[in-house]
Structure 1
C-alpha cells in the first residue's frame, strides 16, 4: 500500500541529507557512467529546446515577415490547384 506521511517525510529527509552530503563532498556522481548519462540527458534537453525555439521562430516569421502579410494582399493560388488532377481515361469515352 502507500507510505504514511511520517514515512514519506523521513524518506525525503534521508534523501535530502544524501544530496547535501554529495554537494559538500563535491562528488555529485558516483561513476563516470553517471556523468556520461547526465551529459547525454543535457544534450537531449538542449536539442528539444533548440527545436522548440526554431518552431517558434518559424511561426513568428511566417506570420509577420511574409511578403503578402505586410501589404495585405491575398495569397497567390498555386498553379497545381487550378488544374484538375489525374488523367482522362479516353477508353471510357463513347
Structure 2
C-alpha cells in the first residue's frame, strides 16, 4: 500500500521543517559519524568529478592535437606470432 497524497504531503512538510530547523540552528549533523560520512561522500564525488574532467581533457587534447593516430614502431628482428604452441597436447 502506498501513502495517500495527504500523508505524503505531511511527511514532506515535516522533513522540510526538520531540515530548516537544523539550518536555523546551524547544526546540520547530529554526530561525528554524520560529519565523517559527509566528508567521505564529498571525497567520492570530488574524485569522480576529477576523473571525468581528466577524461574530458584527454579526449579534447587527442581530438584537437592529433588528427591521425601515430603508427607503432615494430622491431624488425621480431616476427609476429598468432599463438603459442602447447606441447603438452602432443601425443
TM norm structure 1: 0.75
Map of 2:43 onto structure 1: 43
In the alignment, which of 71, 74, 81 is matched to residue 79 of structure 1? 74
Relative distance call for 1:31 and 1:74 in structure 2 (3 A) is: closer
Unaligned runs of 5+ in 1: 90-94
Give the aligned CA root-mean-square deviation in angstroms.
2.4
Gaps of 5+ in 2: 86-91
Q: How many residues align?
A: 82
More helix, by proportion = 1
Counterpart in the other structure of 1:59? 59
Please give the TM-score of this superposition, normalised by the length of structure 2: 0.77
